[in-house]
Amino acid sequence: MKTLSGIIPPVVTPLKATDQLDVEAVDRLVDHLWTGGVDGLFVLGTTGEGPSLSHKVRCEMVERTCHAAAARVPVLVGVTDTSLAESIQLAEHAADCGARAVVAAAPFYFPVTQEQCVSWFGQLADASPLPVLLYNMPGCVEVSLELETVRTLSNHENIIGVKDSAGDLSAFRALCDEFAATDFLVFMGPEELIPEAVAAGADGGVCGGGNLLPEVYVRLYQAAIDHNDAEVSRLNGIVRKMYQQIYHDQKGCMNIIAALKLAMSRCGLCEAVTCPPLLPPHEEHVRQIDASLPEILKAANADLSVSLPV
């Protein structure tokens, strides 16, 4: 029986300062996401800047999100770290707070082999009080979980699935084919590939843009399941606008997290503060976001208003 499915946004971490959680904004954002119909919340992932945050802020984010969610939707917690002991401690804290599962990418800094990945995830799953979802994020940790590695780890009773953010559709389809007749979960990371992921048999998507426009991604996922090609095309057009006009600047350079937080700040959801090493969008990118955002919200029929600085 599948334990999780649908759209589970990787929640941004609202900050007042680089090491200060904005607790009121967490509550506001959780309500916004729940009202938007999402199927879960994934905190402390890449979009949530998890590895950049202090352990204090990570723990506070888990506590506040679980409290705000109040069991309305399941909460998944990113525990990616260079230290296995820290990952396990955060998994224990997540369990104490009422989270449903933890999500972990491979350890970074030291280069790791597939054999070392199997050992690392196996030890984490042995010690974690919560089920573990593998996170394939080669763009950040510089190691890709191979199909054979995922197949081996899927035999662990406490490893329930994989979130794949590699952006390789061929490899993603192979994952879906491998686990089609099982309860092992396969989630798509890149939001622009949701229709293709659903066609391949994915259990859902982890869409960063869902922080701003949760209804768009929820409806897109459902339209793809229903084979409603016209609605998929319409909604995918909004997703492409997000990708091209919000995430990317005029030169095609991407600054997705800072840009997304800026757009969210214009809508009163959180402040635009990011944690180092991330930097704010440059002036031209800010102007592009401010010019594009009203059009995107209108196309999405979003119940949000834009407030630009004077």
Catalytic site positions: 135, 163
Q: Which two tokens stand for residue 179?
A: 């686990």
What is the spatial distance between Cα 170 and Cα 124, in angstroms, rounded to a whole number? 28
The full DSSP string for the chain is -----EE--B----EEETTEE-HHHHHHHHHHHHHTT-S-EEESSTTTTGGGS-HHHHHHHHHHHHHHHTTSS-EEEE---S-HHHHHHHHHHHHHHT-SEEEEEPP-SS---HHHHHHHHHHHHHH-SS-EEEEE-HHHHS----HHHHHHHTTSTTEEEEEE-S--HHHHHHHHHHTTTSS-EEEE--GGGHHHHHHHT-SEE--GGGGT-HHHHHHHHHHHHTT-HHHHHHHHHHHHHIIIIIIB-TTS-B-HHHHHHHHHHHTTSS-----TT--PPPHHHHHHHHHHHHHHHHHHT-S-------
